[in-house]
Amino acid sequence: MKKEIYIGYDPREDAAYEVCRHSILSRTISDIRVLPLDLVNITHVFNRPIEQRDGRLWCPISEAPMATQFAISRFAIPFLEYKGWHLFMDCDIVCLADIDELFQLADDRFAVMVVKHQQESGGTIKADNQIQTYYSRKNWSSVVLWNCDHPANKRLTLEDLNSWPGRDLHAFKWLDDSEIGELPKEWNHLVGVNEPNPKAKIIHYTLGGPWFKDWGLKYPEDYGWVEEYKNFRKQKVAVKY
C-alpha cells in the first residue's frame, strides 16, 4: 500500500511546505504520496470558524490565537483516511532520513504515535510575529503517525473535531494515555527548544525559520534549511509530483 504523508499547508508558508515536501521525496525510496493538508480541500469534514484579530488568525471556539491555518485541521486525518497508517507533519520541517524508517516504527497497539515533548514554558512570540501559546502536550501533534484502523480513534467524532477547544484536541483527549505511543526524539527535533542533535532525522523549525522575511540565521540548524531550499530549487524539475 502506498504510504501517504499529509503536510500542513498555509499559503503564508508556501516555501516551507515546498522544502518540507522536497526533503521527504528526495530521501525516500519506497512508493509514497505527499499531500498538502489545505483547508480548501477538507470543507466536507472541517467547518470550524476561523477569524482574524489584530492581524492574526484566531479560533473563537478556543478563544486563542492560531499560528497557522492547519493548527487544528490536522485532527481531520481520521476522517480523511479510514484504513492503515498515515503521517501528519507541520510544514516547518526538514526530513533528513528515508520516511519509511518512521513508518517502520508503527505499532498497531497504539492509536497515534508521537514524540512526547515536555514544553511547558518559554518565549511569548514565535514565527511571523505570532503569539506563542503553551498547553498540555505541546508539539506532540506536530508530527503524528495516525493508526486509522485503531478503534480508539472512532471515539473522536466530527462534532468533536468542529467544537472542541484546540487545546483538547492537541492533548489527544479522546485517547487514554496507553493508546498514545512514543516515537524516538530524533523524529521531531525542535530547533531553538532542544539542544542541537546531530542524529536528528526530522528538524522542526517550530519557532520559525529562514522562509520568513528578516528572519536571518538565528540557530545553527537554519543553515540546514537554507541548503535544503537551494537543493529544492536546483532539483525542482526532477522532483516527483
CATH of 3-236, picked from 3.40.190.10, 3.90.550.10, 3.40.630.10, 3.20.20.70, is: 3.90.550.10
Q: Where are the domains of the chain?
A: 3-236
Query: What pLDDT is recorded for position 118?
Result: 87
Cα–Cα dist 177/4, whole Å: 26
**pLDDT tens-digit map of 166-216:** 999 999 999 999 999 999 999 999 999 999 999 999 999 999 999 999 999
Among positive and negative, which fits the CA dihedral 54, 134, 7, 155? negative
146, 154, 161, 218 from 174: Cα distances, Å: 14, 9, 11, 37
pLDDT for the residue numbered 121: 47
Query: What pLDDT, on a 0 to 100 scale, did the predictor assign at position 70?
Result: 97
CA torsion sign, 155 to 161 to 167 to 169? positive
- Considering only residues 31 and 238, tell me which one the structure prediction assigns the higher pLDDT: 31
User: CA-CA distances (angstroms) from residue 196 to 110, 204, 212, 219?
Assistant: 29, 11, 21, 9
Q: What grid cell was written down for 142?
A: 506536530
- In the prediction, which pLDDT does 122 show? 47
Residue 236 CB-density burial (10 A; 0-12 exposed, 13-18 middle, 19+ buried): exposed
Structure confidence at residue 241 (pLDDT): 38
User: Which is nearest to 209 in space by CA: 219, 199, 201, 200?
Assistant: 219
Q: What is the pLDDT of residues 23-59, one digit of tens each?
A: 999 999 999 999 999 999 999 999 999 999 988 999 9
Give the number of other CB atoms < 10 A from CB of residue 196. 12
Give the residue from 105, 132, 108, 107 showing the smallest Cα distance to 120.
Answer: 132
Please tell me the predicted confidence (pLDDT) of residue 235: 83
Three-state SS at 229: helix
Answer yes or no: is pLDDT of 238 > 60.
no
Instruction: Tell me the pLDDT tens digit for each residue of 109-163.
Output: 999 999 999 865 445 455 665 555 656 798 999 999 999 999 999 999 999 999 9
